[in-house]
Every structure is written in C-alpha cells, then in structure tokens.
Structure 1
Amino acid sequence: MKQTILVRRPSDLTVAWAQQIVDKHDANTKVARVDVVDVDIGTTTRVCVAVEHNGPSTLPSRWFVKLPSLSWRARMITTLPRLLQTEVRFYNELAEAVPLSKPVCLAAQSRFGRGSTLVLADVAEFAGVPSSANDTLTLEQAGLVIEQLACSHARFWNNAHRDPNYRWLAGPIRLLEDALGTALAVPLMKRGLRLAGTHISSVLHNPAIHYARHRRAAMRFLSDAPKTLVHHDCHPGNLFWNKNRSMVGFLDWQLVRIGEGVSDVAYFLATALNPEMRKLHEAELLVKYARTLADNGITDVDNSLLVQRYRAHLTYAFEAMVVTLAVGGMMRLDCNLELIRRTAAAVEELDAFSVLPI
C-alpha cells in the first residue's frame, strides 16, 4: 500500500509524519522534533511548522502545510469543487511548466474520501516575504506582477485547452464549481451586499443582483476569448516577494484553470491597488500587459478590445470578494472589507456590469 502523508488537523503533524516527507528528499536525515508555530483557518487550514532535523541546509526546516478547512462554512464551499485537491494536482503535474516563482513543494497528496495534504517550504526559509491580502502595492510592484502574468499567459496562449495534460483544468470539477457558484449566486450576493454595508455604493446593488441572476450567461461571455492558464485568485495575499520587493512569486493555486488572461489582470489591479492609484495607472498597466505579450510572441491582441474585456472581468473580482464575505470564515474580515471597497470602486468607476450582455 502506498505510504500516505494525509492528515486532517494540526495535531496530526507529528515527528513520524514529518519523517515520511523528509525520507522522500534525503533518506539519511532524521527528524527530531516538530512544533506548530501558527494556525490560520480560511478556505483551507494553513499551518506553519518548525521541523528540527539533522539534514543539509537545502532541506527546509520551516514548512507551510495546507489541510482541509476546519471552518465548516469554508469546507462547505470548497469540498465539492475540490479546491485543495486541485492545488495538489497543480504542484504534482503542472507547476514546473508554469514560468512563475512558486514555493518549493515538499509533498502533495490527495485520495478520494481521505482528503488532501500539501506541504510547501515556508517562503521565509528562502528570504521570501509574504503579502497580506489588504496590502497596497506600488506602481512598480504592480508593473512587475503584470509583466510576470503576461509571460506566463503567453506560455500557454491558445494551446493549454488543447493539451491533454491540461484538460482536467476545464473538466468536471470546474463545471461543478461553476454550477455551484451559479446556484448560490443570488442568495450569497444579497447576503454579501447586506454585510458589506457602506463599503459598496447602493448604486451597485441592483446591477450586482441582476448579474447574480444571470451569472451563467455572464460566465459564458467571460470565457468566450483566447484561452490560457490563469491563476484566478491573484490578490495581494497570494503573492510573496524578495526582501527588497524587486521579485514576486505566486501562492495559492486552488483556483487555477483555463481562462482569459486579462481576467488575472482585472482581478489583480482591482484588489491590489488603491482606487486612486488604479484609476491613474490602469491604462498604462494594460498597455504594459499587451506589450509584454507581444514581446513573448502574442501579437494579435486588440488594445481597445482588451480594455473592454478588462472592464467585464472586474465583475468577477467584485463577486468573489462579496461572496467571500457572505460565506464567512474564508478571509480576515478587515482584509475582505478592504478588497470589497477596492473592487466596488473599480466596478462603479468603469461601469463594468454594463459591458456584460445580460
């Protein structure tokens, strides 16, 4: 029987468990102690552990472990679409092909009915600095992220959906996730709008509920474009940096899928910049995105159409943050409200709902 590293709770992270993982990398290394440093419960249970061992310095001693969420609300939303299982499969099958910096994966395993466990090196082990979800990026940092996204999107442009190695990203699990999102869209949107209060202008309430009622048609429109591999959850809390913030890496690949590249750009700019900064610079950042695509061989991008598609995809960023609030327990409340404020401002200023043919 294949050895399992699957665990369900932080108390299961024992010396014997850690030894199984270490053995995969260096059979001569022995684990002496495992200490749970921090536990954060959101869409998954994220546990930082210190692992004392006698191995080489190249073998990390601080690990970041992702388990199924201990929050029943978050688990209710994430279990059916198998979000953690998706991230495990991403690290096992796709990560090496994606030209973006990612954490070092030490182990990743899923079994039907048994759950999933993902073990990454803590980015701090290699002088990485993780962001908070409500961090505000500078123009220079935003430009760097946009360039990295464009390079990755170009790598898979109009071919990922044809490659059998990537088809599972648009398979039954993604269809189930979309169906679940559509079925719950109206009640979750109404609850989220109510909980957000003054963070969302009343002007947006009716268009947002109309969008929720016609979500299936909106998703069809948003997916009708040249396809690539997208992160689909590119907010500041899913980024990490080197110490001087001149290099960026990407965390949390639970929602990775086949989609339109500018969807990542819209989600990122709507969540990562203050509304004033975004308003001043989003046009030049979209030009940078198109120029970087062209530098990587994608020369058939229509800039005016890109702007329209960018506006349209802002609606999903808004929905994602409102639904996160409605479900509860998936993001720190202050972070969630700040990202709602930012995405709502983007949607209102650019009249994003009006772009959708619904």
Structure 2
Amino acid sequence: MTIPRGPQDVTPAWLGPVLGADVRDVDVTAIGTGQTGATYRVRATYAAETDLPATFAVKLSAQDDAVRERVALGYRSEVEYYARVAGRMSIPVPPCFYSEISDDGADFVLVLADMAPAVQGDQIAGCSAQEATLAVEALAGLHGPSWCDPEWMALSGIAMPKPGDDAAAGGLGEISVMAAGILVDKLGGDISEQDKETLTAAMSLVTPWLKAEPTRYALMHGDYRLDNMLFDPDRTRITIVDWQTVGIGLPGRDLAYFTATSLDPDVRSTIEKDLVDQYHRALLGYGITDYDFDTCWRDYRLGVVQAPLLTGLGFAFAASTERGDEMMLTMLHRSCRAIRELETLELITSYQAN
C-alpha cells in the first residue's frame, strides 16, 4: 500500500483496500494536539452493509519534513508496539486495523479505532484524582506483564537506552544537557531561576540516573501524560495512545512522569503516596512478588527525572507551537518542583556515592 503523506491522500481508493471493503466516500477531520505526528478522524461511507466501524482515527507522520526525519525512530516504535506488543499487555489501547511504515521510518500510517466519545486529557489544566487513579492502575497493565522479561530487549523501536547500555546512557546524557540549553535559551525569560537550576542539575545527572537501577525494568510508555490519554465522559474508563517513545527501564519513571507533569503540584503532593500505593497494589496483581512498597516509592522518587528529560527533548526536537510552548513551561515547572520536593537529585547522588 502507498502510505498517505497527508490527509489529502486518505481517499476511498486508499482506505478501501486497507480495510478490505468497498469504501465509497471519506470525510477527514484533524483531531488531537500531537507535535510529532498528525491524527485525523476519518468517517467512511461504505458501498454495502458492513460490520466495520463508521469512523476511524488515522495517524500519519508530522507534516513538517524536518520533524518527520528527526522522529523516525518514534514512528518505528509506535508501529512495532501495535504490531508486536499491544496484544500481550493489559494496558488499554485502541484496536489497530492497519499499520505500515516506510523503510526509512519517516512515513507511517496507523488506522485505529475511533474512541469517541472519549476525550483527550488536558495537559495544561491537569487532571482530577479520579482520572489519576485510572491512569496509574492502567499503567500497571503495561509494567506487570513485561516485568523483568528480557524478551522485550529485542524490540527494534526502543527510543531510550536499554538497561546496561552505558554508551547509550552517556550519549543521552550529552543530548539532554544540550536540549536543556536550547529550552532555556528560547524560553528562559518565562522560567524561574529556581527551575532553571533544577533543570540544569537534573540534566547533568541523566547518565548516572539511567544507570541507577539496571536490574529492575519493564516496558515503558515513555511519555505517559494527559495529552496521551483518552477518558470516557463518565471517567470510568481510560485508553492510552501515542506509543512513539516506548522504552525499557525502571518502571517508576513512567509513574513519576505522569504525576509530576499531569497533576497540579499541590494536588500531586497531597495524593501521590496514595497513587503510588494504588499502582503498587495493581502491579502485584500481575504476580510480582519481590517488590515491596518502600522500593516502589524509592523508584518513584528516582523516576521523576523522566519529566524534565522528556520535556527538554520534546521542546528541542518537536515543532514549536503556542500551545506546545505553554505546555512545556507548565510541565517543566511542575516537574522541577516535584524533583525538589521528592529530593530526587540527592537520591541520584547517593547512588553515585555507593
């Protein structure tokens, strides 16, 4: 199949063979707020009665050529996740009807179930305690089934250094310092001096941070935050999207990244121990027996560096938009405050001392 370059290429002639149906007409509308990809709701009109859905979510590469080339590994990651991994995890994701990616990874397409009337979380506004509970319990459905399983080390689309890869950890450490510099240069006037100091210090410790707990790992979403979550209107069900940053590493990184970026700091500091406890109890339901709460809490404290790390990398290498810049500033402030309150940098230093 020819991969659509843009929404104009999502035609009946393309969609019909993909679905194995006679598609007479399509209506394509942009949805979502992605900065490294483009997602569209596609309403299909069929020539004959079918059991197929009337609408789909079609995800394509970013329409900016420079962004497409920079995040090709992320596209590989997402296609591989839906093709090889999703069916073996318990975390809820949209069913995938079709996927394809070019040899160079710069062009891809996913035809996913349209989860409407579910709505995307609002990264800037933050989430409620009820939504946060759904998110942390769902996350256990990714970490539990993949807990310390070396099979997943063979995935080709891993976006972050794998445990034990010291050379890759060193390389990401250098890139992180560079990304933090780009962020401060462009948005520094809107960042407090305290947050600049925290960001700079955290990014200087990325390499030892990645090496801190190499023997405890699971598959990670990598960018586990509100903009990548869909909530049913009654807030009883959640669906997780955007699998472009799949990694293997300390599971607490996903958990802390979510709370540090997606909750108002005052709310986070009040309910985070309860959320970690809910996550821990859900994780034990997958048969994990050698992981006590105190270790989980320490992993959570350690993991919060994932928040400024992804924020810095996202700002440095994704397309800049007005909402995107506001979101980055919000996430940065929340995560730097979490690092200070959880004494994460001191924890990393203690690992170095040992």
The bucket for the TM-score relative to the shorter chain is 0.7 to 0.9
How far apart, CA to CA, are the structure 2 residues paired with 1:324 and 1:171? Answer: 18
1:36 to 28, 44, 49: 28
C-alpha deviations, 1:294-314, integer Å up to 9, x for none? 333223223333222212211
Does the residue aligned with 1:134 lie in a helix, a strand or coil? coil
Letter in 2 for 1:306: C
Compute the TM-score of the two structures, normalised by the length of structure 2. 0.86
Paired-residue identity, %: 24
What is the deviation of 1:317? Answer: 0.9
Label 1:41 to 1:299 Cα distance change in 2 as closer, same or farther (>3 A): closer
The answer to whether residue 108 in structure 2 is matched with residue 116 in structure 1 is yes
Q: 1:56 to 1:90 in 2, by over 3 A?
A: farther
Q: CA RMSD in A?
A: 2.6
Taking the aligned partners of 2:280 and 2:103, their CA distance within structure 1 comes to 41
Aligned to 1:303: 293
The CA deviation string for residues 272-302 of structure 1, in whole angstroms up to 9 with x for no partner, is 2110110001112112222222333223223
1:51 match: 44
Distance 2:75 2:196 in 1: 32
Matched, 1:276 2:262: no
> Distance in 1 between the 2:328 and 2:197 partners?
21
Q: Which runs of 5+ in 2 are unaligned?
A: 162-166
Distance in 2 (CA, whole Å) between partners of 1:305 and 1:113 is: 41
For residues 232 and 309 of structure 2, what CA distance do their matches in structure 1 show? 31
Alignment of 1:201-280 (within 5 A): 201-221=192-212, 223-280=213-270
Shift of residue 158, structure 1, vs aligned partner: 1.8
Task: Supply the distance in 2 between the matched residues of 1:55 and 1:90 (Cα, whole angstroms).
Answer: 33
Instruction: Identify unmatched segments of 5+ residues in structure 1.
Output: 24-28
- Corresponding residue number in structure 1 for 2:8: 11
Match status 1:187 vs 2:178: yes
Task: Give the letter for the 2:18 counterpart.
Answer: I
The Cα offsets for residues 194-237 of structure 1, whole Å up to 9 and x where unpaired, read as 4344664322434433443443232222x524222221111001
Question: For 1:56 and 1:177, how far apart are their aligned partners in 2?
Answer: 52
Structure 2 counterpart of 1:16, one-letter code: A
State the aligned residue count. Answer: 341
Select between 192-201 and 227-236 the one with higher mean Cα deviation: 192-201
User: Once the two structures are superposed, what CA deviation does each residue of 1:300-350 show, in whole Å capped at 9, x if it has no partner?
Assistant: 223333222212211121121133233352673333322222222212222
Query: Does the alignment pair 1:341 with 2:338?
Result: no
* TM-fit CA distance, 1:52: 1.8
Kindly provide the CA deviation profile for residues 147-204 of structure 1, in whole angstroms up to 9, marking residues without a partner as x: 2222432222222x2x2xx233377865598676434222210121343446643224
In 2, are the aligned partners of 1:102 and 1:251 still within 8 Å (CA)?
yes
Retained in 2: the 8 A contact 1:135–1:237?
Answer: no
> Are positions 1:290 and 2:280 aligned together?
yes
Instruction: Name the counterpart of 1:86.
Output: 77
State how far apart, in whole Å, the 2-side matches of 1:268 and 1:129 are: 18
Give 2:143's aligned residue. 153
Conserved 8 A contact 1:229-1:258: yes
